[in-house]
Amino acid sequence: MTGDELVAEAGGLDAGDPLASFRNEFVAAEPNLVYADGNSLGRLPKAAVELAHDLVTRQWGERLIRGWNDDWLDLPERMGAKIAGLIGADPDEVIIADSTTVNLFKLSVAALQARPGRTGIVSDDLNFPSDLHSLAQSAQLLGQGHELDVVESQDGISVAAASIAEVVSAETALVCLSHVVFKSGFRHDLRELTEVAHRRGALMLWDLSHSVGSVPIDLHAADVDLAVGCTYKYLNGGPGAPAFLYVRRDLQEQLSNPLAGWMGRASMFDFDLSYEPAAGMRRFLTGTPAVLSLAMMEPGLDLVAAAGIDRLRQKSIALCEFFVRLWRSELEPLGYRLQSPLDPGQRGSHLSLGHDDGLAIDLALIEELAVIPDFRAPDNIRLGFAPLYTSFADVAELASRLSQVVVEGRQAKYRVSYRRSTSRPTVT
Ligand X SMILES: *Cc1c(COP(=O)(O)O)cnc(C)c1O
Least gap, CB of 156 to ligand X (angstroms):
16
**Based on CB atoms, which residue is closest to ligand X, 12 or 216?**
216
**Rounded to an integer, what distance in angstroms lies between the CA atom of residue 229 and that of residue 212?**
7
Q: CB of 207: closest distance to ligand X in angstroms? A: 4
Q: Is 128 a catalytic residue?
A: yes
Among 25, 37, 124, 207, binds ligand X (CB under 6 A): 207
Cβ proximity to ligand X, 59 vs 339, nearer residue: 339
Residue (273 or 427) nearer to ligand X, CB: 427
Which residue stretches of 63-128 are H helix?
67-70, 75-87, 100-113
CA distance linking residue 238 with residue 403, whole number of Å: 31
Q: Which range in 72-80, 205-213, 374-382, 395-403 contacts ligand X by CB under 6 A?
A: 205-213
Determine the Cα angle at 100 with ends 94 and 106, to 5°: 75
CA atoms within 13 A on the CB side of 73: 12
Task: Pick between residue 100 and residue 138 the one whose CB is nearest to ligand X.
Answer: 100
Q: Which of 105, 182, 327, 389 binds ligand X (CB under 6 A)?
A: 182
Nearest to 390 by CA among 86, 47, 17: 17
Is 385 catalytic? The answer is no
From the list 22, 232, 389, 414, the catalytic residue is: 232
Kindly state whether residue 130 participates in binding ligand X, applying the rule CB under 6 A: yes
Applying CB under 6 A, which of residues 158, 194, 209, 428 lies at the interface with ligand X? 209
Catalytic residue among 26, 35, 105, 128: 128
* 101 near ligand X (CB under 6 A): yes
Among 99, 340, 403, 411, binds ligand X (CB under 6 A): 99
Question: Of residues 234-293, which lie at the interface with ligand X (CB under 6 A)?
Answer: 243
State in angstroms the smallest separation of the CB of 180 from ligand X: 8
Segment 134-141 long-range contacts (CB within 8 Å, at least 24 positions apart): 134/101, 134/104, 134/105, 134/108, 135/104, 135/108, 135/176, 137/105, 138/105, 138/108, 138/109, 138/112, 139/112, 141/109
59 is a contact residue toward ligand X (CB under 6 A): no
**Distance between CA atoms of residues 99 and 70, nearest Å:** 24
Q: Which residues contribute to the site for ligand X (CB under 6 A)?
A: 99-101, 128, 130-131, 178, 182, 207, 209-210, 230, 243
Positions marked catalytic = 128, 207, 232-233, 382
